[in-house]
Chains A and B, each alone.
Chain A
Amino acid sequence: MVEAGRSPNIEILTLAEVESLSGKPGKFKAKVKIRPRYIDPDKCTACGQCMQYCPREAVDEYNERLDFTRAARIDFPQAVPTAYYIDEDRCLQLNHETCMICTNVCGPKAIDFNQEPEIRELEVGAVVLCPGFGNVPEEALTKYGYGIYPDVMTSLEIERLMCVSGPTEGEIIRPSDFSHPRKIAFLQCVGSRDVSCGRPFCSSVCCMYAMKEASMLKEHAPEAEIALFFMDVRTQGKGFDAAFERAVDKYGFRVIKARVPKVEQVDGRLALNYVTEEGTVHRELFDLVVLSVGLSAPEGAEELAKKFGIELNPFGFAKTEVKDPLTAKSGIYVAGAFHGPKDIPESVMQASGAAAKVSELLAEARGQDMVEKEFPPEDQELLEMPVRVGVFVCHCGVNIAGVVDVEAVRDYAKSLPGVVYAENVLYSCAQDSLEKLKEKIKEHKLNRLVIAACSPRTHEPLFQETLREAGLNLALVEMANIRDQCSWVHADDPEKATQKAKDQVRMAVAKARRLKPLELQKVKVTPSALVIGGGAAGMAAALSIADQGYEVHLVEKEAELGGHLRRVKFLAEGENPQKILKDLITRVEKHENIRVYKSASVENISGYVGNFTSTIKVKEGSKVINHGVVVVATGAKEHKPSGYLYGKNRKILTQLELEEKLSRGKRGLGKTRRVVMIQCAGSRGEELPHCSKLCCQQAVKNALRIKELSPETEVFIFYRDMRTYGFYEELYRKARNQGVIFLRYEPTQRPEVLKKGRGIVVRGYDALLGEEIEIPADLVVLSVGVAPDKENPIAQILKTPMTDEGFLMEAHVKLRPVEVAVDGVYICGLAHGPKPLEETLAQAKAAAGKAVIPLAKGFVEVPPIVSRVEEKKCIGCGICASLCPYNAIEMVKKEKRRKAQVIAAACKGCGVCGSHCPVFAITLGGFTDEAILEQIQAFGLPEAEESKEAELEKEAA
């Protein structure tokens, strides 16, 4: 959020709504209505005075109506823009023309009641729709007593309640009597998988978030007993199953497979009646019931669809096709939950994918209208002068000055060695203060700056930029955090807080004296990509990068393109996968920007982001190519189970093998009267630890196909949890309606496949009957799951980490799902984790979108906090190179001696190398040993002086 807010090429319009859209892809005109905020965000410093003095209460919608707030407010401290706003509906001034208190208390004079709604016309090339999701219908909640019994709460309310900045500061209390609930129940599928409220689909995310909330509740209140009521546990995401099981183990949750029909209140507690799978009726009392509410289409989706001329699916979400899951209509793309309920990683993938689509469409216009800031050259003369430190002590309105004696801190700063100037600033980050800061630098010839204000995490980039504008190197500023880590946390002890502020300023000044200018390095990028793997993911990524205008080398180990998709004959969504595949292959082979290497393998990859060199082994020998980025789409394998008589009897097939049969129509089925499918034949703890995500829909899809070809054929499916998430749930329902019989089994009672006489039987346990059953089968179909390539040679060459299961590990599970720890390397498809075709294609586009960023920039900018090796001191021991987690140090021969050399573009500045170098040959930009030691010595200073004084006194006595 902050990053988007800081980008000079992103304009954020809040309180805004698109009124209409005209024109065509590449040249749209959008009319946007912007409602007034009544506070100028450029002037607002988010000090909070307006809210503090605002006399008008308002219901806090952000906190799910569990709390009150004020008419003048900010919903949460990290909001972007970090500016307050005034609630039109509640403000006294706006409704009754009386009050104006906020105007009077606002230091920077940011409040403006004269603001009017504004209409802006924007010229845009493409549109990305991401309006998110909406609430479940009221009746889905009321039928569980929500709104009638106060202790029935939604999962969203619990989320706010658990938040430390929420209405109870993280204390879990039940609304009816403010007591701590000791017995809590989570009811799943509220407003999901429920035909009665028009939400037949599965919301995909609730099982996982319920587990997360339950775990957090346990952390808050370890004595609480928690039961979770599921229909199926749908934790199909990457690593989710393992997380779920860990949580159940650690916190002792009760996982009950039952759908609770209703909630009643009995003597101040809540009674749940439910029937478990064996058919037993239970009645149990709870203190708090949490409804795990589902994800609905966003409010106003229909209107939105009309405005943009896009289609919606029957449930009000944006309609797309499998082959292009990001496009709602040419030039209009969709990302996130508006496309269907989905978790954060899938939403982020879609978002990056949509960005790639936009970049394909607008490739020609790339760079036009782009804003790049220019800075004056650095003032060498000023730099060469002896150290002249300027200290600016910020009041931050009353945020700091209300606690810390800022004048005393300023005077103290003046007394410190090296300081030539110190002053107080009301708001150091305000635009006019920054201008003044530049003037002071010139006027007092300051060449080191200390800003005693808030956190460098949020504000250092701003001051660094100001320094650059003033002709100083960006590394010459140091911040003393006297707000977030001082005045805000020590509000009850102004004296000690002032002392702490003085100490932090002294330490900052000490460090500032040692600061040296650092160079912002730029490394040129080779504008081409290497895509490894010619399956659906690799091809889709290659096409996107090529369509965005860059050269692509696509390497496929087999003799033809297509990967696993070649074996998929039908899709759950109804589209023809072979047609999608054919289109992909034709486009890839014809594309002028793509070189395809078939029957080829990647032998070696060296280099770093922007400048990789790879050797590709082809039939004719090897080929060396240079490229700027790598996309790894090496796929996975169909798991081959060792049990279930697989491979020992021709009546036992995998789902893909069945698909092959089914693709021959009725003929393929022959006289098959009864089919038994076994889910998780390998997955979820048998031979593969993970859930393979796509087998449930695959089984249901094939079962329906069998029913279509031969309605009289019986189909049984043994399963643990049917994970037909999202809209796949529709297929599951359809299969049940068409007479497919689903039998749940526990992992301790996996079904067995046995030979009996000349036939085959499947022996399993029927929970409802409470006994073992044997089903003779003409065909046994195993849902075998997706097996990763554990010895993935590419991962080994690139040193990218892998998960325990053997899939490639992303840089951040949620926020960076297509990047890996090594810069310039992107992942997609089955190599990242099991997923259906639609998600694979979206992820491939996402990887392409991310991969093009360095290519389009043309250079990689290296932040100055990287390590440097002093060659003279280096003894070439190589400890640093072996420890570096980012592969950013290489050992090179220099004048016949081994020396460490830092690859600046790959270094993250963590400093592991520096702290382990036995000869102190490595320094960290901005965090040198001298600077930190100086800071430590400054920490000790007053103590040392005091004791010296004491000693002197002693001597005198």
Chain B
Amino acid sequence: MGILDFLKRKPEATATVARERLRIIVAQERSTRGAPDYLPMMRNELLEVIKKYVHVDLDAISINFERDSGHEILELSVTLPEGKQSAKSETKGEAKTG
């Protein structure tokens, strides 16, 4: 660090920000990789149906797609709002491939 460096404006260490943002988005995209293209649309339609009966928002539904040898597992989890008779209900559906 030279004497004259004190006069220069110190740049922000933005590489750390880039690294953290990439870690999150890459992990998220990998988790949905290989899943069918209809998944996001199905998620929205399911939400519409559920909304008819319970008031939930988009974040309340999570869909997981896993591939085992020979068969695929579609896991759908809906978190119902506090105060209802069951706080959380889980539904599982399995679909065979091939």
A and B interact physically: no
Chain A residues within CB distance 8 Å of chain B: none
Give me the interface of B with A, judged by CB distance under 8 Å.
none
